[in-house]
Structure 1
Amino acid sequence: MTTQTRVVTCADPAIDHLDRHGYLFGYPIAHSLSPLFHQTIYDHLGLRWSQLLLESTDMSQFLRLLKDPKLYGASVTMPHKLSIIQHLDDLTPEARAVGAVNTIFRRGDQFVGTNTDTIGVAESFFQNVRDPEAICRGRPGMVIGGGGAARAAIYALVQLMHFSTIYLVNRDGSEVEAVIAWCKSQGYGDGLIHVSTATQANALDGPGAIVACVPNYLPVTESEKEARRVTEVFLHKAHKGAILEMCYHPTPWTEIAAISQKAGWQVIVGTEAVIYQGLEANRYWTGRQISEMPTLRVKEVIAQELSKAKL
């Protein structure tokens, strides 16, 4: 089966040759490597499956496509991670706790939403840091950002990586307050600390693991500049850990990544989180264990595509 990316806007007769198919539902997603990623896995497993791009904001259209008995499930991205929840039959504990869905799978006749971004964050550290216990032991974690990705990162740091204290850094204090309130309501927000100024950061212990969940834009407003100053204070403390830069488009090497590397931190690029959340999604869809999936080949394919984008 040849690897290709297809963009669909309605039920597509070209999928008739497939045994099963899924969708990536979001907008804009024309740049997404998701179909290529999943095709690499399906070809390795000998499955006549494909994931198709559904670049759309039409929820009713997506819900109609879900009814296809050949559909194995779907990936869901912005702007639908929250709005899809009301249309699902059930949620996994992770999706419920984070309040966002990025993966839909079938459970009998039900459609269930989960959030594999949490696994993607945690596994990015577990698989890329030689001794995560050494850099994280007794240290706080830190999340830069204040949206849904930040909630998934907080969940991963607290519930999967067992940090008891998490610093939150963001240009918008009201977003941080909303994130803290949400996480507390779900039982994993008691150790969250909003660090709003460089002066406050100077007085705190350095973190062991950082997850950056913000776009790769130069800070312009005073609040953006202060959030960057807070970040740099933590990066320049004596203790050096690992930072996961979730932003990877159009390039995984962002300004925050460059600052972090220069300061002596290990940088983990965002494609790592994409890969591990995608592997977890396929565990739900295929019923296969991640150990059966071609992790190294997937990494090679994604790296090749990103190198083409730079040309």
Structure 2
Amino acid sequence: MASQTTSTGTSSPKNFHIFGSGISFSISPTIHNAGFKHYYLPHVYDIRESPSIDDVADLILDDKFGGGSVTMPHKLQVHKFCTDQTDTAKLIGAINTLVVEGDDRNRTITGDNTDWSGLHSIIVNHSTKTNQQPSVGLVIGAGGASRAAVYAMHRAGIQSIYIVNRTASRAEVVKKDFQSAFELIILPSLKEIPRMPEVIIGTVPAYVTTEDQFSSIFGPRGLCIEMAYKPRQTPLLTVAQRHEGWQTVTGVEVLLAQAFDQFRLWTGREPPKERMMEAIAEHEREKARKENGGIL
């Protein structure tokens, strides 16, 4: 996708935002601003928190809007500001990326989803590394993030995909929305798994989970991906790490994977992955220093 440039070939300053509620802790600005800085792009990415997507309509419609990240609870409503949506965003039913092209009357805003593509790259990389194609997957939760998770599993060639949620009716909705593309198997609980999963993706907030919940879901080997990243170490990851044959992926790594795809869509450039990861490490060191009264 074309980068945000003027007719003279020099980058014009654009404003990028993350839209959502309860996102004051987001590290997305750290990631994307590091990428812009690496390429000497004059763009700025910041947090715009609001209870409703309508509250930030002026930012989306502004001529200087370059693109945006969208998190809950706005992923299911932001389509109203889109000129178009990608086929994957339509199927998943959630938008986490706004891509702007053109200017003035020719400007378009496309709703896309990089949550799934980030997860897909993680699964495929693991399969390539281990030389094993997983056949059974488990998604924990049935919210907006679960839709990207089940679709990523499907695209990665996983044949049997289980989904479990505290409220079964929400899982039924997810199953129905994907039934034209593939079948989901709803489990009544984590203690009733027909075949042990080789890929597990957690999509629920860490604070509502306990280690005991996950004691029976791990077989001899596999890949466990956590989408929650606050805190970094979650009960799901803790249990997975007790099983020697399991690789774990933190929520921060998932965030980075989807951010890499966003950066490509927004700028047309390859994301400077090492610089972005380094920026997060610097951010966390500074946060730890402040929490320790300026002493590390």
Task: Quote the residue 2:187 is aligned against.
Answer: 195
Unaligned 5+ residue runs, structure 1?
Answer: 1-17
The answer (yes or no) to whether the contact 1:101–1:113 under 8 Å persists in 2 is yes
Q: Is the 8 A contact 1:126 1:132 kept in 2?
A: no
Identity between Structure 1 and Structure 2 (%)? 31
Q: Distance in 2 between matches of 1:58 and 1:179?
A: 23
Do 1:144 and 1:212's aligned partners in 2 also have CA atoms closer than 8 Å?
A: yes
1:4 counterpart residue number: none
| Correspondence for 1:151 | 147
Amino acid at match of 1:271: V
> What letter corresponds to residue 276 of structure 1 in structure 2?
A
Measure, in 2, the Cα distance between the counterparts of 1:303 and 1:127: 23
State the distance in 1 between where 2:83 and 2:15 align.
20
- Asked if residue 298 in structure 1 is aligned to residue 292 in structure 2, the reply is no
Helix, strand or coil: the match of 1:263? coil
**Amino acid aligned to 1:146:** A
Q: State the one-letter code of the partner of 2:146.
A: A
177 and 51 in structure 1: CA distance in 2 versus 1, 3 angstrom threshold: same
Counterpart of 1:217 in 2: which secondary structure?
A: helix
Give structure 2 stretches of 5+ with no counterpart.
1-11, 292-296
Q: For residues 79 and 199 of structure 1, what CA distance do their matches in structure 2 show?
A: 30
- Label 1:211 to 1:198 Cα distance change in 2 as closer, same or farther (>3 A): closer
Aligned with residue 279 of structure 1, among 245, 252, 260: 260
How far does residue 69 in structure 1 lie from its aligned partner after superposition?
Answer: 2.0
SS in 2 for 1:297: helix
Per the alignment, residue 183 of structure 1 pairs with 178
C-alpha distance in 2, partners of 1:78/1:252? 19
CA distance in 2, matches of 1:39, 1:128: 28
Shift of 1:129: 6.3
1:100 and 2:94 are equivalent in the alignment = yes
Report the Cα offset of residue 272 of structure 1.
Answer: 1.2
8 Å Cα contact 2:69-2:96 kept in structure 1: yes
- Offset of residue 305 of structure 1: 2.6
Q: Quote the RMSD (CA, aligned, Å).
A: 2.2
Partner of 2:217: 234
Q: Is 1:90–1:113's contact at 8 Å kept on the other side of the alignment?
A: yes
Shift of 1:78: 1.3
Distance apart, 1:57 and its partner CA:
2.5
State how far apart, in whole Å, the 1-side matches of 2:127 and 2:154 are: 18
Aligned residue for 2:215, secondary structure, equals: helix
SS in structure 1 at match of 2:58? helix
Structure 2 distance, partners of 1:183, 1:117, is 16
SS at match of 1:62: helix
Q: Write the deviation string for residues 231-261 of structure 1: whole angstroms up to 9, x where unpaired.
A: 43221x3x31010011111x21111100111
Counterpart-to-counterpart distance in 1, 2:38 and 2:122: 22
Find the residue that maps to 2:142 and give its secondary structure: coil
Q: TM-score with structure 1 length normalisation?
A: 0.81
Q: Which amino acid aligns with 1:175?
A: R
Q: Normalising to structure 2: TM-score of the pair?
A: 0.85
Q: Using the TM superposition, give the Cα deviation of residue 87 of structure 1 relative to its aligned residue in structure 2, in angstroms.
A: 2.5
Amino acid at match of 1:284: L
Counterpart of 1:157, as a letter, is M
